[in-house]
A and B are shown apart, each in its own frame.
Chain A
Amino acid sequence: MITDELVVERHHPRARWRKFATRFFQYFILSIIVVIVFVPIVILVFGALKTRGEYLSHPYTVPIPPRWENITLILGNASYSFWPMMRNSVFVMLIVTALVVTVCSLAAFVFARMQFRGKGLAFNLFTLGLMFPINVAILPVYFVLRQIDLIDNLWGVIVVQTAFLLSGNIMILRGFFTAIPAELQEAAYIDGCTVVDFFLRILLPLARPALSTVAALTMIISWNDLLVPLVVLNNDKLWTLPLGTMQFQGQYGQDLSLVSAFVALSALPTIIFYIFAERQIVSGLTAGAIKG
């Protein structure tokens, strides 16, 4: 009976008009926000595809025809060191991601699946890490890196990024590992699996979606990080892309079209990666926030 009423209401002309008006309002507001989101990005890309002279005479017009001089200059001229910075960033990102995925899944497995004395204490230690973001801890961390001689060393960036990504990702993975039914573990043990076998051969393959989520999120965070490279790396041969982008703006700030091109190029890898891994990134961020 209730459904009948609803159906009648939906076909009523006034109800249909109201539905249309609502939709129109929704799309109208959302479109405005889309435009606002795009303005800084579009202005940047427009600037990047103009010559310096074009930029000075008419900065906001659509670049027709697009000029690729700035792009090819940055990619081709070794003195801008775009490629070495890219290589440093990729190196740091890949090792941090491998470390985070390995170290966090080992620890999360223990927290999700095993009982031992002091488990609560150890777990609380890691939850404490969620309250101390790297931005707050950067100065103390810098002292330690100096003591163990990891300043001006990409490994200094790698270990710090990894250490500060542990807490959140252990929480995310522990959530996923706990959700895998206990019967599976019992059955595996009955079949003669050791704990390590169970972890490597059964749990990890089952948790592949969770692992790819953690990996995608870690890649983005490591790739985008500026603060740790900023305090650790003085030598410009070691600079990562975000650090290099910031320094490039400081050095060539007057040539806005060249700087725009550099910024656009350094944003490009993230955008491409985002388009391909949007689902993993989104699910990782929501899982992390809701469970943590």
Chain B
Amino acid sequence: MQNLPTIPNIFKLKPGTTGRKKNKERLVIFLFLLPAIVLFIIFVVYPIIQSIYYSLFNWKGFGPAVDFVGLDNFTNILKDRVFIIALRNVLFIIAFSLFLQLPLSLMLAVLVGRDLPGRVFFRVIFFMPYVLSEVIAALMWLFILNPDPERGFINAVIVFLGGEPQAWLGNTSLVMPAIFVALTWKYFGYHMLLFMTGLQNIPSEIEEAGRIDGANRFQNFFYITLPLLRSTIRTSVYLSVLGSIQQFIVVWIMTKGGPVNASETLATYMYRFGFVRFQLGYGSAVAIYMFLLCLMFSLIYQRLTRQPDYLSGY
């Protein structure tokens, strides 16, 4: 009974109803967001805007940028044969990731399935390369791809099987496939993990219903499982493409973009002009191209793949 009179006070105690409370709440919002926004503006947004400015200059990085060249950097980049190679290599990594790496990951996720004894063991093992740093992964592959069969394990196996040892990273036509194998070793576990999570979100009743209705294993996979995995596949493709566009460390450690620029990627190209040759204006223009590529891809992809989520009811 004593509690009754306090009931109207509920409205006063609730923040945001009186003027003073409202101001206090504004202060909380401001102070809570402040550190994130400050860090984000200074180290993410401002650099991007500033690089647009520098990209219009021929600037070696010493003193202020004064040699204004307009859009020359942007047009010169497109005329550079090495940039075109870098772009082609990025497209190579994207294409092979989408058509080899992701299907392989999906196949393994399906193989592990929901109830295979030891599935956690396989998940832990397959995911381990992703957790190791890119430096370590790249160095390991650098070692086993050594052209000398006495040093490189892969060539040792090839010689053992009666083949010719190959200079994997020294041959302009083998270097990208070799790098792609190393990248797949490092990243397939991540996509497999995404697919395993996606598969787990599909209620097993749906697949069972399909089986009872007479669908065989392949029909079940292509007509039931795959459409229901759509949102996972969408995420996986998105991350894979963005990751391919910015691929740097593995390539830089294994080949530095060589031999004769054969394995150059956009990021190694930018790094070379920015941090090796100190053509900072030119390097900034490369960065802008990469930004635009990421942005355009994100926007177009999100527009194209906005589809009904069949599982939202579950």
Chain A residues proximal to chain B, CB less than 8 Å: 2, 23, 26, 29-30, 33-34, 36-41, 43-44, 47, 56, 59-60, 102-104, 106-107, 109-110, 114, 116, 122, 125-126, 129, 131-133, 135-144, 159-160, 162-164, 166-167, 170, 186, 189-190, 192, 194-196, 220, 223-227, 231, 242, 245-246, 249, 256, 259-260, 263, 266-267, 270-271, 274, 278, 281-282, 285-286, 289-290
Nearest first, the 4 closest Cβ-Cβ pairs linking A and B are A140-B47, A224-B133, A163-B43, A140-B51
Contact residues of B between 167 and 199, Cβ < 8 Å to A: 185, 189-190, 193-194, 197-198
Report which of A106, A263, A270 forms a contact with B35, defined as CB distance below 8 A: A106
Report which of B14, B36, B129, B253 forms a contact with A106, defined as CB distance below 8 A: B36
Q: Which residues of B contact A106 (CB under 8 A)?
A: 32-33, 35-36
Which of B67-75, B77-85, B291-299 is the contact stretch? B291-299
Q: Which residues of A contact B142 (CB under 8 A)?
A: 249
Q: Is the CB of A37 within 8 A of B239?
A: no
Main DSSP-derived SS at the A contact region: helix
CB of B100 closer than 8 Å to a CB of A: no
Q: Is the CB of B14 within 8 A of A189?
A: yes
Q: Which residues of A contact B144 (CB under 8 A)?
A: 39-40, 43
Once bound together, how far apart are the Cα atoms of A167 and B198, in whole Å? 23
Q: Is the CB of A195 within 8 A of B298?
A: no
CB-CB under 8 A for A263 and B139, given A40-B144, A141-B47: yes
Q: Is the CB of B135 within 8 A of A242?
A: yes
Q: Is the CB of A282 within 8 A of B32?
A: no
Once bound together, how far apart are the Cα atoms of A159 and B40, in whole Å? 10
CB of B25 closer than 8 Å to a CB of A: yes
CB of B116 closer than 8 Å to a CB of A: yes
Once bound together, how far apart are the Cα atoms of A142 and B295, in whole Å? 21
Which of B91-99, B120-128, B220-228 is the contact stretch? B120-128
Q: Which residues of A contact B193 (CB under 8 A)?
A: 282, 285-286
Main DSSP-derived SS at the B contact region: helix
Q: Is the CB of B275 within 8 A of A60?
A: no
Q: Which residues of A contact B283 (CB under 8 A)?
A: 139
CB of B161 closer than 8 Å to a CB of A: no
Q: Which residues of B contact A278 (CB under 8 A)?
A: 124, 127
Q: Is the CB of B295 within 8 A of A131?
A: yes
Once bound together, how far apart are the Cα atoms of A43 and B287, in whole Å? 38
Interface string of B96-137 (1 = CB under 8 A from A): 000000000000100111001000001111111101111111
Interface string of B134-176 (1 = CB under 8 A from A): 1111011111100000110100100000000000000000000
Once bound together, how far apart are the Cα atoms of A103 and B43, in whole Å? 15
Once bound together, how far apart are the Cα atoms of A116 and B231, in whole Å? 31
Report which of A116, A140, A162, A227 forms a contact with B248, defined as CB distance below 8 A: A227
Q: Is the CB of B25 within 8 A of A138?
A: no
Q: Is the CB of A126 within 8 A of B40?
A: yes
CB of B39 closer than 8 Å to a CB of A: yes
Q: Is the CB of B185 within 8 A of A36?
A: yes
CB of B10 closer than 8 Å to a CB of A: yes
Q: Which residues of A contact B189 (CB under 8 A)?
A: 37
Report which of B43, B127, B274, B290 forms a contact with A144, defined as CB distance below 8 A: B43
Once bound together, how far apart are the Cα atoms of A287 and B135, in whole Å? 26
Q: Which residues of A contact B246 (CB under 8 A)?
A: 133, 135-136
Q: Which residues of B contact A40 (CB under 8 A)?
A: 137, 140-141, 143-144, 185
